[in-house]
Structure 1
Amino acid sequence: MQFGVFVPQFRLGVEDMKARAVAADEAGFDSFWLMDHLYSPGGRPTDSLESWTLLTALAGATSTIRLGHLVGCSPLRHPALLAKMAATVDHLSGGRLDLGLGWGSVEDEFERFGVAVGSRRERAEALGETIEIFRLMCTGEPFDYDGKHFRLSGAYGLPVPVQERIPVHIGGGGRTLTMPLVAQHADWWNCVGGARDRLEELATLRGAARISAQYAVGFAEDATDIPEVSAATARRMPESGWGAPLVGTAAELVEQLHAEYRRGVELAVLRFHDFADPATLERFGRDVIAPMRALTVVP
């Protein structure tokens, strides 16, 4: 099982984010994920760093951990610009970019910032075209593209990425709009926390995509801390949006995560109750990731 940590970059400065990315890198996490919004959805106005610019700083501060968004908001950028940004970050990181994408489900964001978008179905269609254009840009060869939402003539992307194929993660749990995109385009399907109770049902619609899933995590040092940690987890990541949290000591989290591995989850992306304090990440790597990797049971 692979492990990622999701750290939404609101109320955290550049050095705070670097410290968390470095700690995750050193602790043995496989990937580090940001949000991609112009603000903090549902929250009060607060500092919120732009995600792609921040990724460049994290690429320079880390050495092995993979970097990406869960998930990138596709309507915010033209697909040719997105492909150019992705190739650049892939070079800056030495081939460590994962491209997370979604069609944009926060309607308030588009209205608030004046981003012209179509209906949900149109945005889903545009995401499919975006991924097709992204793949064409990554070849470095000139191409024409005549889609419903985008038209390009003689376009090309140079330099090509370091990786032969940048993995594409599509996040969501919608049967009608999201899962067909997953089956057609994704290397990974990221099951959002609120859809984990339907994981087995939705997994049949994913095609060949591998499964990742998001979890709210309350990591207690010992049993006496569990009530306080559980309350903080519920307050910061309500079950209505994040699904049932994983809460417990290291041994209990190993058991809970192994159960998710048996369900077919290959990558667990964790959002911690304490905003991924570097000490928590170090302890999780030592006491949870290491024991999990010693387990050899195939799901």
Structure 2
Amino acid sequence: MADYGHDLSFGIFVTPKADAGPHIIELARRADAAGLDWVSVQDHPYQPAFLDAMTLLTAIAAATERVAVFPNVANLPLRPPAVLARAVASLDILSGGRAELGIGTGAFWDAIAAMGGPRRSPRESVDALREAIAVIRALWTPG
């Protein structure tokens, strides 16, 4: 097996179905008790059958003790980078350092556009991701 220079970590990915909120929290508690490292949820704000990812991750962090949480992946076209940076930083502080961030370029452009987000070409998506990473890193840099 390849050596990536760090220990392997393991976790679960839960679908944030709106009608399964208590079950999702219970799964996260079990993952925490079992010693897993991560709980992640997908971020599709335009999906009416799903809970909001950041709100759900906050509830998971509040219901667990050691497992880290992250969006898998945050929907960049519908979450402006500066706002996303603040949300994840706040969750990280409130959870005692247990929040991470995964971001992507976006997909499902019709749904994003229907929610008022931009419709981007592949090139525009990658450019926006680069810019978002720079903004988020700048906001997370002390001083």
- TM-score interval, normalised by the smaller of the two chains: 0.7 to 0.9
2:127 counterpart SS class: helix
AA at the equivalent of 2:62: G
Match of 1:17 in 2: 24
- Find the aligned partners of 2:118 and 2:77 in 1 and give their Cα distance: 9
1:224 maps to which residue? none
Of 99, 118, 121, 1:119 maps to: 121
Residue 103 of structure 2 aligns to a residue whose secondary structure is: strand
Cα shift at 1:102: 0.4
Q: TM-score, normalised by structure 1?
A: 0.43
Q: Which residue of 2 aligns with 1:95?
A: 97
The correspondence of residues 62-211 of structure 1 with structure 2, limited to 5 A, is 62-141=64-143
Over the aligned positions, Cα root-mean-square deviation in angstroms equals 1.6
- Between the aligned partners of 1:31 and 1:103, the Cα distance in structure 2 is 22
Segments of structure 2 that go 5 or more residues without pairing to the other structure are: 1-7
Which amino acid in structure 2 is aligned with residue 58 of structure 1? I
Please identify runs of 4+ aligned residues in structure 1 that moved more than 6 A: none
Q: Which amino acid aligns with 2:54?
A: W
TM-score w.r.t. length of structure 2: 0.87
Tell me, in whole angstroms, the C-alpha distance in 2 between the residues paired with 1:69 and 1:17: 14
The match for 2:49 is: 47
Q: How big is the shift at 1:13?
A: 3.3
Using the aligned pairs only, state the percent identity: 38
For 1:35, which of 36, 39, 42 is the aligned residue? 42
1:205-251: CA deviations, max 9, x gaps?
xxxxxxxxxxxxxxxxxxxxxxxxxxxxxxxxxxxxxxxxxxxxxxx
Which of these two proteins has the greater Rg computed from alpha carbons?
1
In the TM superposition, what is the alpha-carbon distance from 1:113 to its structure 2 partner?
A: 2.4
TM superposition shift of 1:78: 1.4
Alignment pair present for 1:7 and 2:14:
yes
Q: 2:11 is paired with a residue of what secondary structure? A: strand
Q: CA deviation at 1:17?
A: 1.5
